[in-house]
Amino acid sequence: MTKSVNDYQKVWAIGDLHLSIGLSPDLAKPMDVFGDHWLDHTAQIEEAWQAKVGPTDIVLLPGDLCWGNKLEDVLPSLDWLESLPGQKILCRGNHDNWWQSIRRLRDSLPASIHLIHNDCVVLGDMAFAGSRGWSFYDQEGGGHQAKMIRREVLRLEASLSKIPEDVRLRFALMHFPPFREAGEESIFTQLLAKYQINYCVYGHLHGSDCCRFQKVSMGMTEFQLVSSDYLDFSPVNIYNKY
């Protein structure tokens, strides 16, 4: 999916926003039950975003945007995103239950928000692809885990294969880490290498689990964990044009 060409300056990333904007009490989930650092985390994100991100920048959001269960639930969160600077690119997370009919979603999207769904987004001379992925530590394990990983590999390749050959930079968004441990080769990292991805961002991890997943390069791909609490609720700079 190709969008309008502009002179985009910087690429940022922040995942796992876990928003409850406008949700009814039975759907809203106060995140401060996971620690005081989550208090008013939506306001923390907004303040940092406004301070860092410019109108010609791009922000990558690799999953777990909102706790809602249907399109109507996520609309206030999408409106909130629209009010922030830059173009926003989303992939699906394991808690994004509102992500159902892609046609209905895209018909309802504000102008600055783009979804990756078995395709890619092209902005200027950069392409953005990805998929949810799956956990290498799936508690159900066994055949279920193998089945889900095979399915997500197909979805990831469907997206990566849509990247035009002539783009200058290639980005991948995944919700789950694409490896068991940072820097360890996997079927996902092999696929990212095949399609010559320059930057891969991912989320899903929180708390003490994050310490094992420092930024790492494998071949030509730089991998970075961008869960919002890991970043102190402030978008991290992935790429600068100048």
- Residue of 60, 54, 52 lying closest to 14 (CA atoms): 60
Confirm whether pTM is higher than 0.85: yes
Q: What pLDDT does 131 receive?
A: 97
Which residue has better confidence, 226 or 4? Answer: 226
3 pLDDT more than 50 = no
pLDDT at 158 over 90: yes
Q: What's the DSSP call for residue 211?
A: G
The amino acid that residue 197 corresponds to is: I
- At 205-228, the pLDDT tens digits run 998 889 899 999 999 999 999 999
Output the average pLDDT for the chain: 93
* pLDDT higher than 60, residue 144: yes
Q: Quickly list DSSP for 55-117.
A: TT-EEEEES--B--SSHHHHHHHHHHHHTSSSEEEEE--TT-TT---HHHHHHH--TTEEE-S
Residue 1 confidence class, pLDDT cut points 50, 70, 90: low
Q: Which two tokens stand for residue 131?
A: 């998929």
Single out the residue of 24, 42, 46, 21 nearest to residue 32, CA to CA: 42
Fold type of domain 10-240: Purple Acid Phosphatase; chain A, domain 2 (3.60.21)
pLDDT-derived band at 164, boundaries 50, 70, 90:
very high
Q: What is the mean pLDDT of residues 4-24?
A: 88
Contact present, 154 and 188 (Cβ < 8 Å) = no
First to last CA, the chain: 26
Instruction: Kindly tell me the sign of the dihedral angle through the C-alpha atoms of 28, 62, 201, 140.
Output: positive
pLDDT at 130 over 90: yes
Rg (CA), the chain: 17
Contacts of 161 (CB under 8 A, 6+ apart): 195
Q: Nearest-CA neighbor of 63 among 29, 27, 90? A: 90
